Chain A
Amino acid sequence: EPEVTQTPSHQVTQMGQEVILRCVPISNHLYFYWYRQILGQKVEFLVSFYNNEISEKSEIFDDQFSVERPDGSNFTLKIRSTKLEDSAMYFCASSRGTGGAFFGQGTRLTVV
């Protein structure tokens, strides 16, 4: 069964460093998303991506964040200068449109 895959599963980085989280969405899906979940808290929407551009972003997704779909397969989230409060599980998801999104296993980002 097709699935969303994310790498790495765990990333530890120093404050101020750039990180790139990678995702391979399900191949026939058209909509791509990044969510994050701080330990013990709600899933929070970061950004959605459709037709090679951002369709919507939340207040969390500030200038430090960017997304890219460089090669028609990968979908990446870059955090330019990480802060301690960026520590969270980051989930990539994809969907055909409405009807439910399929999530990856997540990348645990720890900023020290």
Chain B
Amino acid sequence: TQLLEQSPQFLSIQEGENLTVYCNSSSVFSSLQWYRQEPGEGPVLLVTVVTGGEVKKLKRLTFQFGDARKDSSLHITAAQPGDTGLYLCAGEGGRSNYQLIWGAGTKLIIKP
């Protein structure tokens, strides 16, 4: 069974602090995606990383794909209350070409 494990499950920090969220697997994926989900809404795609070792930046968010394409991290610099949400990683192209394998998510709360 392919699994993606996210850590931490829950993180509550003050505005202005930095944080890193991790997504780990024993399986290799052809790409890994990060989504953000607000309560009662659908996941919104933030980024897709494809190449081992790839780093992508989206304003204060930095995404990294591990060299072996089994893990990824999301780093947020100077977190803001607007960053509050559930962050999900999803792997593509493992056992299946069509099915995304989802992590359980990291619930992030940024306190003003």
Which residues in A have some Cβ–Cβ distance to B below 8 Å? 4, 31, 33, 42-45, 48, 50, 55-56, 58, 89, 91, 93, 98-106, 108
B33 at interface, CB cutoff 8 A: yes
Q: A42-B105, A98-B93, A99-B31 are in contact. Are A104 and B98 (CB under 8 A)?
A: no
Chain A residues closer than 8 Å to B92, beta-carbon distance: 98
A interface footprint on B95-112 (CB within 8 Å = 1, 0 otherwise) = 011111011110000000
Q: A43-B88, A98-B31, A100-B45 are in contact. Are A56 and B98 (CB under 8 A)?
A: yes
Q: How many interface residues does B have (CB within 8 Å)?
A: 26
Chain B residues closer than 8 Å to A105, beta-carbon distance: 41-42
Closest beta carbon of chain A to B26's beta carbon, Å: 18
Secondary structure type dominating chain A contacts: strand
Q: How many A-B contacts if CB must be within 8 Å?
A: 58
Chain A residues closer than 8 Å to B42, beta-carbon distance: 4, 91, 93, 103-106
B11 at interface, CB cutoff 8 A: no
B44 at interface, CB cutoff 8 A: yes
A104–B37 Cα distance when bound, in Å, is 11
A28–B9 Cα distance when bound, in Å, is 36
Closest beta carbon of chain A to B103's beta carbon, Å: 8
Chain B residues closer than 8 Å to A45, beta-carbon distance: 99-100, 102
Chain A residue with minimal CB distance to B90? A43
